[in-house]
């Protein structure tokens, strides 16, 4: 009947425009997968966009850093060069959200990464939610890494990152975007803060290792829904992901010098 058809049409329209909930953290695979060297995934960036407009991660073969800004995906390669990624590109690990910030503040006099983490945390009312943050401004100093493309058999992430390129940006205009993961989810995702960086002129960026800045604008979104899409390929399904990887995650994800 025409009523049923129009109902179905409305349904289709709704599903076509259906955006993932704005309080959802969606990730493909787990950080433990990368830690043990599961560096190929089946999720395309075109598919990933359905779950979020902002995010971070890497692309297959751990070929550099990935950041998503307003639905566009970028790679920063091991030479520190930024490229636009096409929708057919696949990722072995990515974390995205339909970023709709609920509060905005100014963060000032940040001395280093852990100082930033403490200052961001002071705005959280809840200890066991996930958060997304977007920090924009001119940063006195940002130190960022980019991982080099790996060859099979893929090594553990700690080995791959031991060959990472590191870049130091001074008085740079850009955006930091990333997530806070509560410790109880360590191993599924990176516990604490995980931030990627992109310069405003879209020429470079990377995974943030350290930084300091006088003042920047921070927008937060509290994420109360958490969805993990588990790769169905044999690489992921055949490895042992049960080990305690907390030391390896710290080694692979944070600044050393």
Ligand X SMILES: C[C@H](O)[C@](C)(O)C(=O)O
Would you tell me which residues interact with ligand X (CB under 6 A)? 34, 56-58, 65, 93, 147, 194, 207, 253
Closest contact distance (angstroms) between CB of 160 and Zn ion is 12
Q: Which is nearer to Zn ion, 56 or 107 (CB)?
A: 56
CB of 207 to ligand X, least distance (A): 4
Which partner in Zn ion, ligand X, none is near 34 (CB below 5 to 8 A by kind)?
Answer: ligand X
- Other Cβ atoms less than 10 A from the Cβ of 12: the count is 10
> Of 23 and 63, which has the nearer Cβ to ligand X?
63
- Across 138-176, b (16+ Cβ under 10 Å) vs e yields ebeebbbbbbbebeeebbbbbebbeebbbbebeebebbb
CB of 54 to ligand X, least distance (A): 14
Which tokens hold the place of 198?
Answer: 């992109």
Q: Name the strand (E) or helix (H) holding 145.
A: strand 130-146
- For Zn ion, which stretch binds (CB under 5 A), given 93-101, 142-150, 154-162, 204-212? 204-212
Q: Say which residue the tokens 């983490």 belong to.
A: 117
**Minimum distance of ligand X from residue 147's CB (angstroms):** 5
- The burial of 99, by beta-carbon neighbours within 10 Å (0-12 exposed, 13-18 middle, 19 or more buried), is given as buried
Distance CA(138)–CA(106), nearest Å, equals 13
What is the footprint of Zn ion within residues 58-87 (CB under 5 A)?
none
Residue nearest Zn ion (C-beta atom): 207
Q: Which is nearer to ligand X, 41 or 137 (CB)?
A: 41
Out of ligand X, Zn ion, none, which partner does residue 93 contact, by CB within 5 to 8 A per kind? ligand X
CA separation for the pair 213, 215 (Å, rounded): 6
The least distance separating Zn ion from the CB of residue 4, rounded to whole angstroms, comes to: 48
Residue nearest to ligand X (CB): 207
Least distance to ligand X, CB of residue 18, Å: 27
Shorter beta-carbon distance to Zn ion: residue 21 or 228: 228
Beta carbons of 120 and 107 less than 8 angstroms apart: yes
Per DSSP bridges, beta strands 94-97 and 24-28 are antiparallel
Residue with tokens 């966009």: 49
Residues 6+ apart with CB under 8 A from 257: none
Q: Which of ligand X, Zn ion, none sits in contact with 89, Cβ below 5 to 8 A by type?
A: none
Nearer to ligand X, 58 or 245 (CB): 58
Dihedral angle of Cα 81, 75, 163, 236, to the nearest 10 degrees: -170
Q: Considering the rule CB under 5 A, would residue 207 count as an interface residue with Zn ion?
A: yes
58 binds, options ligand X, Zn ion, none, Cβ within 5 to 8 A by partner type: ligand X
Q: How far is the CB of 141 from ligand X (least distance, A)?
A: 19
Binding residues for Zn ion, rule: CB under 5 A, are 207
């Amino acid at each position: 009947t025409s009523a049923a058809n129009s109902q179905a049409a409305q349904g289709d329209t709704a599903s076509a425009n259906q955006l993932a909930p704005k309080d959802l953290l969606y990730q493909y695979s787990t950080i433990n997968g990368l830690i043990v060297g599961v560096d190929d995934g089946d999720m395309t960036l075109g598919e990933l966009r359905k779950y979020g407009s902002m995010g971070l991660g890497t692309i297959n073969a751990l070929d550099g850093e990935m950041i998503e800004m307003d639905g566009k995906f970028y790679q920063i390669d091991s030479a520190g060069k930024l490229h636009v990624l096409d929708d057919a590109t696949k990722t072995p690990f990515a974390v995205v959200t339909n970023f709709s910030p609920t509060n905005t503040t100014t963060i000032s006099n940040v001395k280093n990464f852990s100082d930033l983490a403490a200052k961001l945390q002071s705005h959280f009312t809840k200890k066991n939610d996930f958060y997304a943050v977007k920090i924009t401004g001119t940063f006195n100093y940002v130190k960022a890494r980019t991982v080099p493309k790996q060859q099979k058999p893929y090594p553990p992430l700690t080995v791959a990152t031991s060959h990472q390129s590191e870049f130091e940006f001074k008085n740079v205009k850009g955006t930091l975007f990333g997530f806070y993961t509560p410790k109880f989810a360590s191993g599924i995702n990176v516990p604490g803060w995980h931030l990627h960086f992109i310069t405003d002129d879209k020429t470079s960026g990377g995974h943030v290792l350290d930084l300091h800045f006088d003042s920047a604008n921070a927008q937060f979104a509290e994420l109360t829904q958490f969805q993990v899409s588990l790769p169905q390929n044999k690489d992921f399904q055949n490895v042992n992901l049960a080990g305690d990887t907390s030391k390896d995650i710290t080694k692979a994800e944070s600044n050393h010098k």
